Structure 1
Amino acid sequence: MSVQTSIEASAGEIDGAIGRNKVNATTMVQPPTTRQIWAMVLKAWKDGDLDTIRTFVSPDMVILEPDSLPYRGVFKGPDGYARLYRLISDTWEDLVVEQGQVIGGDDEDALVIEYFTSGRSRATGRRLEREPSLALWKFRDGKVISMTPFNFDTVRIREVLA
């Protein structure tokens, strides 16, 4: 199962983290901004790139998924992030996560990301179309330390999955 994400708006951020941001005026390497870290982690999630996830996700990172969803619970560190990916992949096929607004500056300790999720339930074959959600991402020392999703309508998601 591959997860598709629409991160076109973040492509420049990824390029900046990889390319333009290598050297500053004093030839010191600049660390990536929080927006660049977020974009790289999202791309790594989409690609199943555990090395990048381990680089930018703190071992203490916590993801809290709502109890009303089948991939409920607390997921810790890069391995928890990868386990959540597998659980979501086992639940949905043809999953597309489109990015909306990103709220927060390059050097903020937190970003709020708007997402729209579409996919087909593996259990029922029913589709979810552009279900809105927000996620609060927090950062410290160049790493993601938490991500908390806020799904708009978990009842609707459960109806599609049940």
Structure 2
Amino acid sequence: MQTFTDCTHILRGMYAAEREYLASGGPCHGDFDVLAPYFATDVVLCQATALPYGGVWRGHDGMRAFFAAMAATWSEFEMLDQQFLATGETAVVRTRVRARARASRREVSFPILQTLRIADGRIAEVWPFYWDTAAIVAAIAPTR
């Protein structure tokens, strides 16, 4: 059984690796190997279907594709003010996101709540919940 310290250590490490990955250019220039150790090989990520990167992403190949879709959508994506709550194998992370859409160049700020399952020291499942997907989709839409 994972402890609170173990889960938050894993999650803080993954978020730091994600920042490094995105700062290096993401899938265009970054190496997914910096993120791979934090995710189970059969990880499942379930994103809101209303988003351009929505749907179910499976395994490391799915995570690579997901990060490519995120990079195509956002030119900047910062996770701020993170709060962690973990019990056993379940963790919840509350985050304020500040992002800039690649197509519209609009900046948007929104809360996100992620539930994660940790198994054998790796992230096995991720379910992000967005407060207002319509506002995010509107910010992403190219300007006319």
TM-score after normalising by structure 1: 0.72
What is the aligned-residue identity percentage? 25
Larger Rg: 1
Deviations along 1:25-59, one digit per CA (max 9) or x if unpaired, are xxxxxxx8121111111122222253343223111
In 2, Cα distance between the equivalents of 1:66 and 1:149? 8
Other-structure match for 2:41: 59
In 1, Cα distance between the equivalents of 2:32 and 2:76? 21
In 1, Cα distance between the equivalents of 2:103 and 2:56? 23
Shift of 1:128: 0.4
1:5-154 to 2 correspondences below 5 Å: 33-48=6-21, 50-105=32-87, 108-129=88-109, 131-154=110-133
Shift of 1:145: 0.5
Stretches of structure 2 that go unaligned for 5 or more consecutive residues are 22-30
The aligned length equals: 128
Contact 1:45 1:85 in 2 (8 A): no
TM-score after normalising by structure 2: 0.81
Q: 1:148 to 1:81 in 2, by over 3 A?
A: same
What is the RMSD of the two structures over their aligned residues, measured on CA atoms? 1.7
Amino acid paired to 2:124: I
Stretches of structure 1 that go unaligned for 5 or more consecutive residues are 1-31
